[in-house]
Amino acid sequence: MQSHPLFTMSVASRCICINNPSPSAVYLRVSVGSQIVVDDALFADYKPTCAFLFPGLPAIYVTSLAAVELLRARHGGQQIVDSVDVTCGLSLGEYAALAFAGAFSFEDGLKLVQLRGEASEAADAAKGAMVSIIGLDSETVQQLCDAANQEVDIADKVQIVNYLCPGNYAVSGGLKGVEAVEAKAKSFQARMTVVRLAVDGAFYTSFMDPAVTRLEAALAATQFRTPRIPVISNVDAQPHADPDTIKKILACHVVSPVQWVTTVKTLLTKGLKKGYELGPGKVIAGIVKRMDKSAEIENIGA
């Protein structure tokens, strides 16, 4: 299936199109019989200068990629798009990042996002819940989870599932465990805030195991390619080049915590010069600025 013309992603002048490999290609391919093996650590030493960062709601996959085209159409926009040498996405924003990097087509990414949402909704999520905890560091939030887990059965245990930014973490798990977190929260720090999230269940936990199998089947049936630039994973905050590894990580993401703090911190530590948040809102820009007030990041809405 050909990419929709609106979302045909340009390839930076210094990059080589994956469909037209050459000795100067930016990725390593080793032939083993008829199989092509890609070095998954190809991007391990990436040095970011310009990054695209995509928000993480299922409904804005299309909007985020439309924002790329909006940026491309403005004066000097094509040059900015071509200069991007790393990308990532918060939670489900990783699918938009992978589509931009050419790992799969726009249409295939849209199908995967839709299927993942349907599979998660169909999972046994009713017995779980999520809360946002604001005002504590991650170590204290973990202590809060440990205290709550001492009072509930294993099926109701909770864990940190979204390391969003310093002082803002999401906890997810069994309903009784979440209720225990809420009950104990004030005893940890009076100034903290606990907000029950309006979601259908315990996302990024083993409650979502039924969704993994369905997503794995869809990923196996989808054509993936080596990304033309590093795409930072939410699962381990590292870039991966091997398509099969990327598929496995996307499946694991359903039941794994979002390592967004580490992702942003790594980009800044490695010397990121400029970032662009693609899509509605300025959540990511706010997080980046909170972590480094001097960071340069611009929001491109659609």
Task: Assign domain 126-202 one CATH number from 3.40.50.970, 3.40.390.10, 3.30.70.250, 3.40.50.1220.
Answer: 3.30.70.250
pTM of this prediction?
A: 0.83
Per-residue pLDDT tens digits for 30-45: 333 434 556 777 777 7
User: Please, what is the average pLDDT of the chain?
Assistant: 84
The third-level CATH classification (topology) of the domain covering 10-121+209-300 is Malonyl-Coenzyme A Acyl Carrier Protein; domain 2 (3.40.366)
Is residue 275 pLDDT above 90, yes or no?
yes
Contact residues for 131 (Cβ-Cβ < 8 A; gap 6+): 170, 171, 172, 178, 181, 182, 194, 195, 196, 197
Tell me which DSSP letter residue 182 carries: H
Contact residues for 112 (Cβ-Cβ < 8 A; gap 6+): 95, 104, 215, 218, 219, 222, 250
- C-alpha 22/C-alpha 248 separation (Å) is 28
Query: For 113-119, which contacts have Cβ atoms below 8 Å and span 24 or more sequence positions?
Result: 113/58, 113/61, 114/58, 115/214, 115/215, 115/218, 116/58, 116/92, 116/211, 116/215, 116/254, 117/58, 119/210, 119/211, 119/214, 119/215, 119/254
Other CB atoms within 10 Å distance of the CB of residue 282: 16
Residue 34 has what pLDDT? 39
Residue 2 has what pLDDT? 38
Of the candidates 132, 124, 147, the residue with the CA atom closest to the CA atom of residue 255: 124
Give the residue, 280 or 87, on which the prediction is more confident: 87
Is residue 125 pLDDT above 60, yes or no?
no
> Residue 105, class by beta-carbon neighbours within 10 Å (0-12 exposed, 13-18 middle, 19+ buried)?
buried
C-beta separation of 255 from 220 below 8 A = no
Residue 191 pLDDT level (bands cut at 50, 70, 90): low
For the chain, give every domain's residue range.
10-121+209-300, 126-202
Is residue 99 pLDDT above 50, yes or no?
yes
**Order of strands across the sheet with 86-89?**
231-232, 86-89, 50-54, 274-278, 297-300
Distance between alpha carbon 178 and the CA centroid of its chain, in Å?
24
Q: Which helix (H) or strand (E) holds 247?
A: helix 243-253
Residue 39 has what pLDDT? 75
Residue 281 pLDDT level (bands cut at 50, 70, 90): confident
Contact residues for 201 (Cβ-Cβ < 8 A; gap 6+): 120, 123, 124, 125, 126, 127, 128, 129, 130, 207, 208
Task: Work out the percent of the chain whose per-residue pLDDT is above 90.
Answer: 65
Residue 288 has what pLDDT? 95
Other CB atoms within 10 Å distance of the CB of residue 237: 19
C-beta separation of 275 from 83 below 8 A = no
Is residue 52 pLDDT above 60, yes or no?
yes
Retrieve residue 149's tokens: 């887990």
- C-alpha 105/C-alpha 84 separation (Å) is 19
Is residue 123 pLDDT above 90, yes or no?
no
Per-residue pLDDT tens digits for 200-222: 778 899 888 989 999 999 999 99
Other CB atoms within 10 Å distance of the CB of residue 47: 10
Per-residue pLDDT tens digits for 250-270: 999 999 999 999 999 999 999
